Amino acid sequence: MPEHRSPYEAVFSGIPESLHPKLRTYFSAIPIGHHGFGEGRFNTVGTPRRWLWPVIWLVGRPDILFPVWQRDVPFTVINRPVVGRWPAIGASRVFELAGGRRIMTDAISACPDGLVDYLGARRRMRAHLAASVRGGALNLASTGVALRLGRRWLGIPRWLAPTVTLTERFSDEDCRQHVEVVLAMPLIGTVYEYAGSFTYEIRSGEGTA
């Protein structure tokens, strides 16, 4: 049986000491038979550019992106360890949007060339991510995006590919974890985002979204 590690422990060869202590716990391996549970609010979700909503609906449905622009959105997140060839963490984020509950799913895996985020329950999209630590926060930036067509992956050319950036930090002022995700397109700029804060703990059991 392979050693049980988180994907972040795998790519960093251990959790960096420069990461905030609370984040070191968050990005460490979740014990088998347990799950991570977070609860908080997003300040913003989606994009105010309504002309992008049809594209977001087509590309992101039903569990990747949502064609909305809303503020003060309650959410929960459940992280679960994924047992397999490579260390991985599966996540379900429940957004309590004004139009109803929506669930975003993804799984981050450590592969020989770094982190890969598989988006959606059916893993129709993936993003290769470069990880770094600055000021006690974890930063992820996409280096390539691909779509799955049947059994094959089609890489999107850099001049056309969206870029994804994520920052996870912990604030000692409010004792909360803060997350910011931005999706941008060449020549257009930011086309989607969500940002907010939450509390987090490890619980026993598998957890349900």
Q: DSSP string spanning 163-198?
A: EEEEEEEEETTTTEEEEEEEEEETTTEEEEEEEEEE
Q: Contact 76/94 with Cβ under 8 angstroms?
A: yes
**Does any domain span residue 109?**
yes
pLDDT at res. 4: 83
pLDDT at res. 3: 64
Kindly tell me the sign of the dihedral angle through the C-alpha atoms of 53, 151, 118, 92.
positive
Report cis status (omega within 30 of 0) of the bond before 62. Answer: yes
**CATH code of residue 125:** 2.40.128
**Does any domain span residue 38?**
yes
With 0.75 as the threshold, say if the pTM is over it. yes
pLDDT at res. 208: 61
First to last CA, the chain: 28
Q: DSSP string spanning 89-131?
A: EEEEEEEEETTEEEEEEEEEEEETTEEEEEETTTT-EEEEEEE
Residue 178: CB partners within 8 Å, gap ≥ 6?
167, 168, 169, 170, 171, 195, 196, 197
**Does any domain span residue 19?**
yes
Low-confidence ranges of the chain (pLDDT < 70): 1-3, 207-209
**Does any domain span residue 1?**
no
CA 160 vs. chain centroid, Å, equals 21
Domain that holds residue 43: 7-201
**Does any domain span residue 209?**
no
pLDDT at res. 1: 44
**Does any domain span residue 189?**
yes
**Does any domain span residue 206?**
no
pLDDT in tens, 121-162: 888 899 999 999 999 999 999 999 999 988 899 999 988 999
- Count how many Cα atoms sit within 13 Å of the Cα of residue 83 in the half-sphere of its side chain: 8
- Domain count across the chain: 1
**Does any domain span residue 208?**
no
